[in-house]
Copies of this chain bind each other. A is one copy, B any other.
Amino acid sequence: MSKQAAVDVLCCPPLSERRVPAETAAALAPAFKALGDPVRLQLMSMIASAEGGEICVCDLTPAFDLTGPTISHHLRTLREAGLVDAERRGTWVYYRARPTVLHQLAALLTVVPTEAGPAPAARSECS
């Protein structure tokens, strides 16, 4: 449990507004990388869209044509990227999404409605 992404502290002006500094890129890239696998993208979606905000591993595993250890490995990757949290309750382990990080990634990718000239960006930091 010691490993947890340092994504939480970052703020994210849109990609297209200003150049992303190296540290921000280094901190955020692992989250994108974690979503860069079809299985993990589906896992992330199943977790984020689960009723009650959480879903059991026992409901995730049979949805794929993969072994338990492989699913577990992907879930660990999502966990270490800071995208999900896990909690054991009795026999089962439940995963839930961390909307904050998803929100940051979405904000980074948001394309400001301007087309050629970037608007006189007054929204410097996420104040």
Contacts and interface: CB of A to CB of B under 8 A. Distances in A.
Interface in A72-127: 97, 99-100, 102-107, 109-111, 114-118, 121, 123-127
A16 to B, nearest CB: 4
A interface bracket (residues with beta carbon within 8 Å of B): 35 or more
Contact of A48 (B16, B35, B126): B16
A43 to B, nearest CB: 9
A111 B99 contact: yes
A90 B101 CA distance: 42
A80 B94 CA distance: 36
Contact of A15 (B48, B121, B126): B48
A12 interface: yes
Interface in A28-75: 28-30, 32-42, 44-46, 48-49, 51-53
